[in-house]
Amino acid sequence: MYSVLYVDDEHNLLKVGKQFFEKAPDISVKTADSGIAALDLLRQGRYDAIVADYHMPGMDGIAFLKSVRERFGDIPFILFTGKSREEVVIEALNEGADFYLQKGDDPESQFAMLSNQIRYAVERRRAEEALRESEHLFREVCNNANDAVFLLEGGPKGPGRYLLVNNKAEKMLGYSKEEFLRMTPRDIIPADVQKRVIPCVIERLKREGDATFESVHRRKDGSMYPIEVSTHTFRYKGMDVDLSIARDISERKQAEEALWQANRQLKLMTSITRHDINNKISVILGYLELVKKNFNDPALVDYLNKLDSATKSIRSQIEFTKLYQELGAEKPRWQELEPLFSWSEVPPTISLKADVRGLEIFADLMLGKVFFNLLDNSIRHGRHVTEIDVTSVHSR
């Protein structure tokens, strides 16, 4: 329903107008015979639109419009009058009237037109209010986010100036919003990081439309901290823009560094321990060999041989741990898969097909040994193996 306040100093016209308006099932009308009476009604209740005459005693339509705008905001307002002076129209529109309609001889068509104007003006105003509320909600969500949010000019040449930043970005970097709007990402990313990161990001955005990567931000005071950035590119008002969300990962990097350090210490400890155990095993094996040479009792020799075999198994197991002592000692990297399957020791009776051209995996540097062991186990322990296929599946 559209609730309308109709204002005119002619009582008969008010009655006729109300009847014509309310022929439409979606319009209800309240009437007032002066601007003063209409203002009282506006204080008492809410109306979706106002239709008012221009020439009224005490307060004309323009003065009434000004009072409405001052006290009740942007309620849709239509000036409906017999006056046709151009200056009245201009003044009404300047003061915020939505429409102007001159009274004519055919009331039915006049009020039908007014009804359409009311619907259009009210729906337009509701859409504007919804948009303002949506923008307000977006700003609130954006400004209360735990991560820094940046909207910036995008395009094939890379990131341009900032168009919007949230409160967290100001807090993290120490710049005001006004300062940000005069800057680009190149003002807060160190030059060496720019050369390494920005070209890769541009290429990925061009290819996929979004990218997640690590970078570094430089605060206004010159200090720097590591970040993880998630960026998405889209069209806005005819231009390419990038929406980037940056998270401070200083604590994560510290934890990673502590883990690398612990791994290095563990590697040193296991290396020393393995060395000491191997020395003891060598001593045991030496004594076993001496004992076997000095005793001819077959039963005793059999026992000695079993001890010798068990000791050598222990040595083999200890040596096996050496293969994996590097696991976790280096940071993961992007690695091409194709070279990992260029294995020359595959028997000619087995066909190895690896459809991995152009693929990379972000993994520990021990990845090659993992695939080597998988292939080796297939060959050694598979029954009647004639073909090994390696394939990949793309998922998002």
What token pair was written down for 47? Answer: 């109306």
Superfamily of domain 145-248: PAS domain (3.30.450.20)
- CA distance linking residue 396 with residue 379, whole number of Å: 33
* Cα distances (angstroms) measured from residue 265 to each of 273, 282, 333, 355: 12, 26, 21, 39
What token pair was written down for 23? Answer: 């022929």
Q: Residue 113: pLDDT above 80?
A: yes
Q: Residue 332: pLDDT above 70?
A: yes
Strand pairing category for 27-32 and 2-7: parallel
Q: Are 254 and 236 spatial neighbours (Cβ–Cβ below 8 Å)?
A: no
Strand pairing category for 224-236 and 239-248: antiparallel
Q: Residue 317: pLDDT above 60?
A: yes
- Short-list 306, 310, 304, CA closest to 287: 304
Superfamily of domain 2-141: Response regulator (3.40.50.2300)
- CA distance linking residue 49 with residue 36, whole number of Å: 17
- CA distance linking residue 328 with residue 54, whole number of Å: 83
- CA distance linking residue 182 with residue 248, whole number of Å: 23
Identical fold at 2-141 and 145-248? Answer: no
pLDDT-derived band at 38 (thresholds 50, 70, 90) equals very high
**What is the tens place of the pLDDT at every residue in 69-78?**
999 999 999 9
How confident is the model at residue 122, as a pLDDT? Answer: 93
Q: How many CB atoms lie within 10 A of CB 170?
A: 17
pLDDT-derived band at 228 (thresholds 50, 70, 90) equals very high
Q: Are 153 and 241 spatial neighbours (Cβ–Cβ below 8 Å)?
A: yes
Domain boundaries, the chain: 2-141, 145-248, 253-323, 333-390
How confident is the model at residue 318, as a pLDDT? Answer: 73
The pTM of this model reads: 0.52
190 burial class (0-12, 13-18, 19+ CB within 10 angstroms)? middle
Q: How many CA atoms lie within 13 A of 313 on its CB side?
A: 6
pLDDT-derived band at 83 (thresholds 50, 70, 90) equals low
- CA distance linking residue 58 with residue 378, whole number of Å: 100
**What is the tens place of the pLDDT at every residue in 250-307?**
988 888 887 777 777 777 777 777 777 778 888 888 877 877 777 777 777 777 778 8
**What is the tens place of the pLDDT at every residue in 346-386?**
788 888 888 888 888 888 777 887 888 888 888 878 778 88
Instruction: Give residues with Cβ within 8 angstroms of 159, minimum separation 6.
Output: 152, 153, 184, 185, 186, 198, 242
Kindly report the average pLDDT of the chain as a whole number: 86
How confident is the model at residue 271, as a pLDDT? Answer: 74
How confident is the model at residue 143, as a pLDDT? Answer: 84
- Short-list 201, 150, 153, CA closest to 180: 150
What token pair was written down for 187? Answer: 């003002």
- Short-list 53, 49, 99, CA closest to 73: 49
- Short-list 28, 77, 8, CA closest to 49: 77
How confident is the model at residue 321, as a pLDDT? Answer: 67
